[in-house]
């Protein structure tokens, strides 16, 4: 979670296996690899009851030959640096968690 230059608090909703996962409707996507964490659509949302989507990352799609992109809503254009920096940080944390070995008791 972070506070933007506008004084509003935001958080990245990274979905399964991620951090800071508020209840945001995340449409199912085709898995892009065997990694379980890639079946998600990360969204930057306001940290309030409305959970307004400010930015959304669309991963690369092999079958449709679509490149990865970060879509920013007009409300987020004044804080592009913050959006990119916090996305890289949050996604790196998600990748670190996925790299941890699973429990041997499973």
84, 87, 89, 91: CA torsion to nearest 10: -140
43 contacts 23 by C-beta, under 8 angstroms: no
pTM exceeds 0.85: no
Q: For 30-88, what is each residue's pLDDT tens digit?
A: 333 444 444 567 899 999 999 999 999 888 877 777 888 899 999 999 999 999 999 99
Mean pLDDT computed over 80-102:
86
Boundaries of every domain in the chain: 2-99
pLDDT confidence of residue 84:
93
């Amino acid at each position: 979670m972070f506070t933007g230059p506008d004084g509003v608090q935001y958080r990245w909703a990274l979905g399964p296996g991620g951090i800071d996962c508020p209840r945001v409707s995340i449409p199912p996507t085709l898995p892009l690899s065997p990694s379980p964490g890639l079946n998600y659509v990360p969204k930057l949302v306001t940290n309030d009851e409305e959970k307004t989507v400010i930015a959304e990352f669309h991963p690369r799609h092999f079958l449709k030959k679509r490149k990865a992109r970060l879509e920013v809503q007009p409300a987020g254009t004044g804080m592009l640096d913050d959006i990119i920096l916090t996305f890289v940080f949050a996604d790196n944390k998600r990748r670190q968690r996925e790299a941890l070995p699973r429990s041997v008791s499973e």
